[in-house]
Amino acid sequence: MIEVGRLVTKIAGRDAGKKAAIIDILDDKYVLIDGETRRRKCNVLHIEPLNQVIKIEKSASHEEISKALKEIGIEAMQTKPKLKTEKPKKKRKTPEQLREQKEEKKKLRDLFKFKKKEEKAEEKKEETLEGKAGLIEEKKEENKETKKVEAGLKTAPVEDKEAATKEDNKNTTKKMAKKIEKET
């Protein structure tokens, strides 16, 4: 049963269930195998012989065996040759690259910073279309005019102040009113 050229399946190991052919008999116990499995020696107890026999010379090369097995219909295992690639060398970064790294890190940090309410309001103004068109500047000018008016009113007595503040409150918004209250 065990002779050179006999087809065989492996029973044990990772390649259990795969077919191969005997190439050489080494010992009472060990045998050389090649085919769908890798080319190596194998224990006789881990082999189950089949009915077929191939015509091979003793210790033939891998290519001859793959040709002989193709005629029967078995594809032999083929390993790709390893590509030699160079090890990636570590290079020091130039000062420009370091600056770019720092700027990117700063941007990420600023995104997650805790923002105060005033800063949030300023950002909202800038994002709205009015801010982009430049209409916010007009509002700032109006603020300056009202401030001048208030300065003139401060000298007047208290009753006039209340009346003036009431008149101003009708015309101005809530934010303006808060500013006026702070100043008085």
Partner 1 sequence: MPAPRLRSRSLRRVFRKVPGGRVSLHYKKRKPKAAKCGNCGALLKGVPRELPYKMRSMAKTKKRPERPYGGVLCSKCMRKEIINRVRQ
Residue 11 interacting with partner 1 (CB under 8 A): yes
Strand residue runs (E) in the chain: 6-10, 19-25, 30-35, 40-43, 47-53
Q: Are 55 and 67 in contact (CB under 8 A)?
A: no
Q: Which is nearer to partner 1, 50 or 135 (CB)?
A: 50
Q: Which is nearer to partner 1, 10 or 34 (CB)?
A: 10
Phi, psi of 15 (to 5 degrees): -95, 30
Out of 12, 26, 135, 177, which residue is the one contacting partner 1 (CB under 8 A)?
A: 12
- Give me the least distance between CB of 126 and partner 1, in Å please: 46
Q: Which is nearer to partner 1, 19 or 32 (CB)?
A: 19
Report the Cα 96 to chain-centroid distance in Å: 25
* Distance from C-alpha of 23 to C-alpha of 7, rounded to nearest angstrom: 10
Residue 16 interacting with partner 1 (CB under 8 A): yes
Residues that bind partner 1 (CB under 8 A): 9, 11-14, 16-17, 48, 50
